[in-house]
Amino acid sequence: MIPIRGLFETHLTVRDLDRSIRFYRDVLHLPLAHVVPERDVAFFWIGAPGRAMLGVWAIHTVPIALRLHFALEVALDDLLTAPTRLRSAGVVPRDGADEPVVLGWMPAAAVYFDDPDGHSVELIAMLPHMPRPDVNWVPYSEWVRSFAVPESDPA
């Protein structure tokens, strides 16, 4: 259906975000990529930046049921057709998306959907553009039209 190229990210719940940041950054030497304090989450690159990522989310002392998320790397051309191809297989992209969304800080384009058990699955492709940390969750067409700057372009 959609050729999968690799696993891009996985997420874990943690009780203390600061402690986890110290552990993954200082003990395991994973580069800290991005922290979102208002969401109690930190992201770490696994290997070279832009190749694989781990997210850790603070749950403090509240017990929760596990609902895991993981991302599978795909080619951009396949990602752009993924919503249609997923629908043809009976899978509805999250929020009924007709196109990928872009996370500007990476930058990467993604399509999200749930597996039969409710786990969050993401298809993702890194983009050949300059990171834009100020741009979050924009449709791919808007990213290309308004925000995309090739990596080689200093502007």
User: How many Cα neighbours within 13 Å face the side chain of 141?
Assistant: 4
pLDDT tens figures, 78-109 = 999 999 999 988 899 998 899 999 999 999 99
Task: Give per-residue pLDDT as tens, 28-56.
Answer: 889 999 999 999 999 999 989 999 999 98
Provide the 3-class DSSP secondary structure of residue 55.
Answer: strand
| Distance (Å, whole) CA 124 – CA 6 | 10
Does the pTM surpass 0.85? The reply is: no
DSSP designation for 105: T
In the chain, where are the structural domains located?
6-60+67-147
Q: Model confidence at 21, in pLDDT bands (50, 70, 90)?
A: very high
Q: What superfamily in CATH does domain 6-60+67-147 come from?
A: 2,3-Dihydroxybiphenyl 1,2-Dioxygenase, domain 1 (3.10.180.10)
* 23 Cβ contact partners less than 8 Å away, ≥ 6 residues apart: none
